[in-house]
Structure 1
Amino acid sequence: MTFSDLGIEQDIVDALASKGITEPFPIQSQTIPMGLGKQDIIGQAKTGTGKTFGFGLPLIQALGPDPEPGVKALVVVPTRELCVQVAEDLVLATSNRNTKVAAIYGGKAYEGQIEELKAGAQIVVGTPGRLLDLASQRLLSLSDVQVMVLDEADKMLDLGFLADIEKLFAQTPATRHTMLFSATMPGPIVALARRFMNRPIHIRATDPDEGLTQANIKHVIYRAHNLDKDEVIGRILQAEGRGKTVIFTRTKRAAARLVEELNDRGFNAAAVHGDLGQEQRERAMAAFKAGKKDILIATDVAARGIDVNDVTHVINHTVPDDHDTYLHRAGRTGRAGKTGIAVTFVDWDDMHKWALINRALEMGVPEPVETYSSSPHLYTDLDIPEGTKGRLPGAHAPSVKDPSSRPPRQGGRSSSGDRPQRQRTDGPRKDSAEGGGTHDGAAPRRRRNRTRTRRPSTGGTPTA
C-alpha cells in the first residue's frame, strides 16, 4: 500500500518520497483515511511507529494547497525537543505547498516566533506554556482553528499540563476536528477525550500477540556496579554494528559527567539536559541527527524528541522510574521497522524498581545477571570483539602525575597531608653557627624573633 492508495494528494506524496518515505506504517494506514474524513480519532501505538504523519498528512490536506494566512491547525506537544521534531516532519510534508509551519516553545526568544505568527503561519506546533503565554498577550489567536491535535498526551499528563490543555481547548471552536495520539492511555486522558472530542474512534495499531515490548528490540538487563559502568559502556560502544546510541541518565549532573568521561575516552558524544540552554540542546540534537556526534546522553526531558531512525543502541545508565518510562526510552531504537538493542543497568539499591518494571512488562528477568566489564557474557550478549577495552586506542590515557612534581600549594595542606612550608622573604637562612644548622640530616630549624609590646603605663611609653 502507498500513501496515494490512502487518498493523500500527489504533491504531499512527492514531498515524502524525496526523503525515501513511500510506504505507510500500520498506524498511518488506519488513521489517515479516517483523518481525511474528519473523524475524531484516539490513536494508540508504540513510540516510533509513525504517529506524526498519521495525524499530520490529513491535517495538511484539510487546509488545502494554498490556505489563507492565520492559524488553522494546532498541534500540542509536551516537550521542546518533540516540538522541533514534529515541526520538521510537517515542514517536509508541506514542502510543495504554500503552507507555513511555526514551532512555538519555551527557551527561545519571543521575537522570532511572533514574526512567524505575524507572517501568517497556518500550522502551529507548540508546547502548552508558550502557547498560553502568547495567547494571553493576544499574539496568538486560536479562534479559527479547524484541526487540533494532542501528541504524546500521556506525557502531558505526567508533566502536569492537563489544566493547560483544557484552557487551550476552550479557546478553539467547538466544531474543530480533534485527534489525540498517545503510546499509553491512562484514565485522565480518556476522560479528557470524552469531554472535548465528538464520538471519537479508538484505533490501536498493535499486534495483540506482540506483547508490551516491541518485538524488534533486544532487551539486555544487567546488575552492574556504579564504579564500573563507564568501563562497561565504553566496551558496549565498540560492539559490532553499533550505530547511533542514546544513553539515558537519571540526573543532569550525571549526564554532564558522562559526556565529559566518554569524550575523554575518545568517543564522540553530546549531551541534552535541563542545565543546558535551548540553543545548546538544539545544537547537540542537530549534531546527533546529522551524524557529527554518534552518542547522545540525555535525561528524560528529551526522551520523546529523539526521533532518529538509525539509533541502534539505547543504554539506561540507571533503571527508569516506571515501566512507561522504560518503554519510551527503549523506543528510541528499533524505529521505522528496524531492529535495536536496549541495555539497562540495575544498581543493587534499585532492584525494587526493576521488579515492578519486570512484572508490568512481563519481561521474565526477575534477577538481572551480575555483570562487570570483564564478564565473558558481556562480550557474547552484545557482540563485542574479544579484548576490547573501554577506551578507544587513539585516546589519551589519563595521566598520573608524580605528587613531588606538583608546585607547593599556598595556604593549604600538601598532597601528603603535611602543612605547607613557609617561604622566607627576608634573605637567606642563618647558618649553623647562628642556630640554623641541621641535626642528623633534619631540616634546619628556623629561629623566630618575636617582638612583644607591653601595655603602656599611665603617662609612660611602650617598652620593647
Structure 2
Amino acid sequence: MPETIPHTDEAVSASPAVEQSSGTTDPQQTFADFDVRADIVEALAAKGITTPFPIQALTLPVALRGRDIIGQAKTGTGKTLGFGIPLLQSSVAPGEPNPDDRPIGKPQALVVLPTRELAVQVAHDLETASAKRPIRILTVYGGRAYEPQIEALEKGVEVVVGTPGRLIDLMRQKHLDLSQVRTAVLDEADEMLDLGFLEDIEKLLQAVPSNRQTMLFSATMPGPIMALARRFMKQPTHIRAHDPGDESRTKADIKQVVYRAHQLDKIEVMARVLQARRRGLSIIFMRTKRQADRVAGDLADRGFAAAPLHGDLGQGAREQALRAFRNGKIDVLVATDVAARGIDVTDVTHVVNWNCPDDDKTYLHRTGRTGRAGKKGTAITFVDWEDLARWALIARQLGLESTEAVETYSTSDHLFTDLDIPTDAKGTLPKDRRTRQGLDAEEIEDLGGPDSSGRAPREGGRGGRDSDRGGRGGRDGGRGGRDGGRGEGRGRGEGRSRGERRGRDEESREQTADTESGGRTRGEQDGEKPRRTRSRSRTRRVNGEVVAEQSTGAESSSTGPEDKGGSSESAGGSSNRRRRSRGGRGRSRGGSSNGGSES
C-alpha cells in the first residue's frame, strides 16, 4: 500500500511523523492527471508509458509544487520518472518563455548517481521524457575524455547527470558552474554512501544555491543519509511506496529459490538454468572479477551468449557489453556488484547469485535487477556449505518465508520443476538454439579516455594490459603489457620488450660460448684489443706492520699471495677466489688466472 508521510526537518531523523496519510494508486490515472506538461505526456506515450507507478503517483503532486522530497521505494519501482518529470518541467529550454530571466546555457538541474551505468540509464530516461523539447542533457562520468564534456558545457546544457568524482573534477576546473541550479537530485543515496561518495556529495550540495529543490531517493535510510537530509533539505516530505499485502522488503513479483550447490557442479546447474522455458535476459552476480571472467568464458564455451562486466574492463568495453545486452546480442551478463549497479533493463527475467550475498542490502539490489516495471522475475541464490548461517540471517532480515537452502545438483528433479527446465537439458546449449549474435557483433566505441577499451589500467602495482610501461614502478608503472616486460629498476616506467631481452640473452650466450671454446671473445677475434680491467693494490697490515701487498688487477693475478704459514698452490687459489669476489676481476680475457696454473 502506498504511503505518504509529510513531516518536518526534525522528523527526518527518527521521530514520529507529524501527519500520515495512505491510499492506493488508481490504475486509471495517467500522467496528464498530475498537470504534467503535454509535451512530456506525449513523449512518454510514444514509448507506451501512460500510467504512473505508485512511487511516481505519490511523488509527482508534491515534487511539482517544488517541495523537497525523500523517496523510499524498492529497487525497480520507477523512481526515475518520479524525479525526472518535475526536474524537466521546471527547466527552461532555449527558445521557451523565461519569466525568471534565467541565464540559458547554465545547468538548471543536477542529478548525482553512484555509477556510470546508472548515469547513462537515467540520462536516457530523461531524454525519452523530453523528446518533444529542445532540453539539452549532458552525462558526465569517468572513463571518458574530458574534452567532449567540457565542450558541451561551454555550448550550454540545461540538465547535468553524472557521478560525484567527475562532477567534482569539472567543478574544480571551473568548467561546471552550479550557481544556477534550481533542482538537485540524489539517486541511490545509500549506494553512494557505501562507495564513499558522501564527502563529494556534500561539496556538490554546498556549491548549489540554497533556494533549490532537493530530492533524495534511496532504497534504505542509514544514519548518515538521514544526517545529510537534515543538513541540506528543508522540511522534506517523506514518501514510501509498497504494494498491498507485500510487507517483505523484496518485491512480490520475484520468485525466489535458494539452492545449496556443490562448487564443482555450479556451472552444470547454471547451464541448465539458462535453458529454462521463457527465460529472457539474465544476470549472474559474482563476488570477484576473476570469477566473472572465468564463468563467462565457461558459459561461452558451452554455447551461451555470455559476456563479463566488471571494473577491470575499460569504459568502452563495459558499454559495449551493456549495449549488446540491451540489444539482445547477448542474453547472459556475468557481473560484479558495482559494475552492474544501475542496470535498468525491463526484460531481465532471471538473476543469479553465484555466491551468498554479503548482506541483505546486497541481496535487495541484486534481485532488484529483475521484476522491474511490474514484470515477473526469478531470483536464484547458490549458497555454499560454509555460508548457510549467513544466509539464514539474511533471510530473517528480509522476512522471507523460508530460510532453507535446498541441496541441489545438476541432476536433481526439483531443479527442473522449480524453474521449468526441459528434462532433456544438458550442460551445453544445443546448436539449433544458439541464435544470439554474441558480444563481437556489438562495436566497441572509442570514448577517448585513458581506459576507453579493453581492461582498465590499475592504479599501482601491476599495470593493465594496455600499458606499455614496465618495471615494478609506482602508479604508472607495474608490469607492462605485451610490449612492456620488466623495467630497468623497480621505480622506472620504461621497460625492455621481450624481443630486446631475448636478443641480449642470445648475444650473451654466444659471447660466452666463443670465450669458452676459443679463449677469446668475438671482439678479440676481430682484432680489437680487450678492455683493461681495473687494477687496485691492497696493503695488508698486522699490528701496524706491512705483511703483504696484494694486487687485484688482471695483470698481477698470476701469482698467488702468501698466507701466514707460507706459500702453497692451494692457498694461492683460495686467496685468488677471495680476491675476485672483493675487488677486481680474477680472470683475464686471455686465459686462466689460477695462481698455480700455467700461462
Alignment partner for residue 251 of structure 1, among 280, 288, 297? Answer: 288
Cα offsets for 1:333-387 (capped at 9, x unmatched): 1001010000000011222321221110121333301101011110000000012
Q: Quick one: which amino acid aligns to residue 163 of structure 1?
A: E
Contact 1:41-1:203 within 8 A present in 2 as well: yes
Further displaced range: 113-122 or 341-350? 113-122
Q: Does 1:166 align with 2:202?
A: yes
Q: Does 1:21 align with 2:49?
A: yes
SS in 2 for 1:173: coil
CA RMSD of aligned residues (A): 1.7
Q: How many angstroms does 1:217 deviate by?
A: 0.4
Structure with the bigger RCO (C-alpha within 8 Å, sep 6+) is 1
Q: Does 1:371 align with 2:408?
A: yes
For 2:342 and 2:403, the matched residues in 1 are separated by 30
Q: How many angstroms does 1:457 deviate by?
A: 8.4
Contact 2:193-2:225 within 8 A present in 1 as well: yes
Q: Does 1:149 align with 2:209?
A: no
Cα offsets for 1:238-288 (capped at 9, x unmatched): 001000001100000000111111111000012210110011001100110
Q: How many angstroms does 1:7 deviate by?
A: 1.1
Q: How many angstroms does 1:15 deviate by?
A: 1.0
Q: Residue 276 of structure 1 aligns with which residue?
A: 313
For 2:193 and 2:223, the matched residues in 1 are separated by 10
Cα offsets for 1:83-106 (capped at 9, x unmatched): 111011111111111110001111
Q: Quick one: which amino acid aligns to residue 236 of structure 1?
A: V
Contact 1:47-1:183 within 8 A present in 2 as well: yes
SS in 2 for 1:279: helix
Q: Which runs of 5+ in 2 are unaligned?
A: 1-28, 97-103, 433-590
Q: Residue 387 of structure 1 aligns with which residue?
A: 424
Q: How many angstroms does 1:14 deviate by?
A: 1.1
Contact 1:15-1:96 within 8 A present in 2 as well: yes
Q: Residue 98 of structure 1 aligns with which residue?
A: 134
Q: How many angstroms does 1:454 deviate by?
A: 11
Q: Summarize the alignment of residues 319-338 of structure 1 with structure 2, pairs less than 5 Å apart.
A: 319-338=356-375
Q: Residue 219 of structure 1 aligns with which residue?
A: 256
Q: Quick one: which amino acid aligns to residue 176 of structure 1?
A: R
Q: Residue 446 of structure 1 aligns with which residue?
A: none
SS in 2 for 1:189: helix
Q: Quick one: which amino acid aligns to residue 279 of structure 1?
A: G
Q: Quick one: which amino acid aligns to residue 15 of structure 1?
A: A
Q: Residue 241 of structure 2 aligns with which residue?
A: 205
Q: Does 1:113 align with 2:141?
A: no
Q: Does 1:310 align with 2:338?
A: no
Q: Does 1:72 align with 2:108?
A: yes
For 1:146 and 1:455, the matched residues in 2 are separated by 88
For 2:219 and 2:321, the matched residues in 1 are separated by 26
SS in 2 for 1:248: strand
For 2:307 and 2:182, the matched residues in 1 are separated by 40
Cα pair distance change 1:456/1:280, threshold 3 Å:
closer
Contact 2:311-2:339 within 8 A present in 1 as well: no
Cα offsets for 1:77-130 (capped at 9, x unmatched): 011110111011111111111110001111111111111211201100011111
Cα pair distance change 1:458/1:225, threshold 3 Å:
closer
Q: Does 1:54 align with 2:91?
A: no
Alignment partner for residue 231 of structure 2, among 180, 186, 195? Answer: 195
Q: Does 1:356 align with 2:393?
A: yes
Q: How many angstroms does 1:304 deviate by?
A: 2.7
Q: Residue 380 of structure 2 aligns with which residue?
A: 343
Further displaced range: 294-303 or 149-158? 294-303
Q: Summarize the alignment of residues 283-294 of structure 1 with structure 2, pairs less than 5 Å apart.
A: 283-294=320-331
Contact 2:205-2:232 within 8 A present in 1 as well: yes
Q: Summarize the alignment of residues 23-42 of structure 1 with structure 2, pairs less than 5 Å apart.
A: 23-42=51-70
Q: How many angstroms does 1:134 deviate by?
A: 0.7
For 1:39 and 1:367, the matched residues in 2 are separated by 45
Cα offsets for 1:189-248 (capped at 9, x unmatched): 111111100100000011363121111100000011111111111000000100000110
Contact 1:11-1:96 within 8 A present in 2 as well: yes
For 2:58 and 2:381, the matched residues in 1 are separated by 33
Further displaced range: 273-282 or 363-372? 363-372
Q: How many angstroms does 1:459 deviate by?
A: 7.0
Q: Quick one: which amino acid aligns to residue 334 of structure 2?
A: I
Cα offsets for 1:29-64 (capped at 9, x unmatched): 110111110011001111111100000001000013
Cα pair distance change 1:174/1:455, threshold 3 Å:
closer
Cα pair distance change 1:347/1:33, threshold 3 Å:
same
SS in 2 for 1:5: helix
Q: Residue 571 of structure 2 aligns with which residue?
A: none
Contact 1:41-1:180 within 8 A present in 2 as well: yes
Contact 1:12-1:94 within 8 A present in 2 as well: yes
Cα pair distance change 1:120/1:386, threshold 3 Å:
same
Larger Rg: 2
Contact 2:188-2:218 within 8 A present in 1 as well: yes
Q: Quick one: which amino acid aligns to residue 65 of structure 2?
A: G
SS in 2 for 1:43: strand
Contact 1:70-1:120 within 8 A present in 2 as well: yes
Contact 1:43-1:182 within 8 A present in 2 as well: yes
Q: Residue 296 of structure 1 aligns with which residue?
A: 333
Q: Quick one: which amino acid aligns to residue 362 of structure 1?
A: G
Cα pair distance change 1:146/1:162, threshold 3 Å:
same
Q: How many angstroms does 1:188 deviate by?
A: 1.2
SS in 1 for 2:32: coil
Contact 1:303-1:328 within 8 A present in 2 as well: no
Q: Residue 233 of structure 1 aligns with which residue?
A: 270
Further displaced range: 331-340 or 385-394? 385-394
Q: How many angstroms does 1:458 deviate by?
A: 5.1
Q: Residue 580 of structure 2 aligns with which residue?
A: none
Contact 2:309-2:340 within 8 A present in 1 as well: no
Q: Quick one: which amino acid aligns to residue 258 of structure 1?
A: V
SS in 1 for 2:34: coil
